[in-house]
Structure 1
């Protein structure tokens, strides 16, 4: 289902149905009677974000990273990882300054470093 604006300024839509309910009269009442009384419809339960890393166990350095995280603890490990990433970004920035690369090229190098880190298992 989508809508597009045509060249003449009108709105074109692929929706050809009705905004009303299709359950009217006897159909609705029959459906309501078929649902057991103990079934209640309420606010959906909140799903918590998954804490498992998609890079877990992938890459050459992943086992070392996982063992280190288990030894020093997740909180301390994330602090150290953040400092290492910040330091690496500074090195990339200094390198870009020395060769005269602009900000867009610098961002590209930082993205490339992140992809390489994921492939090697540093972000496990």
Structure 2
């Protein structure tokens, strides 16, 4: 799940998020993965990029201080901000780790130096 926190108003004019409602039920067709050690670039994609109908996207403007929760499989995008207004946001992602097997080819990997921090403990 992604958390997208608006530090300023995010409007259609300055590049708010857009979503395809219900797209989280369609499954994943493309993943970012690590390439073999010593190769460049360090990441690549498996699967294929789908083509989406622009008419299906719905804008999600957010006021400063608002939070958008983004399901990990929902199709979303934001346009380039070409307005005079800035649109600063803070984002982070979280996932369930209990009894989870993290794919060794996933592009993001925990390390001893930089483990995935826990949000809570029991």
Is TM (by shorter chain) over 0.5?
Answer: no
Q: Look at both structures and tell me which one has the larger radius of gyration over its CA atoms.
A: 1
Larger RCO, structures 1/2 (Cα 8 Å, 6+ apart): 2
Greater share of strand: 2
Q: TM-score, normalization: structure 1?
A: 0.17
Greater share of helix: 1
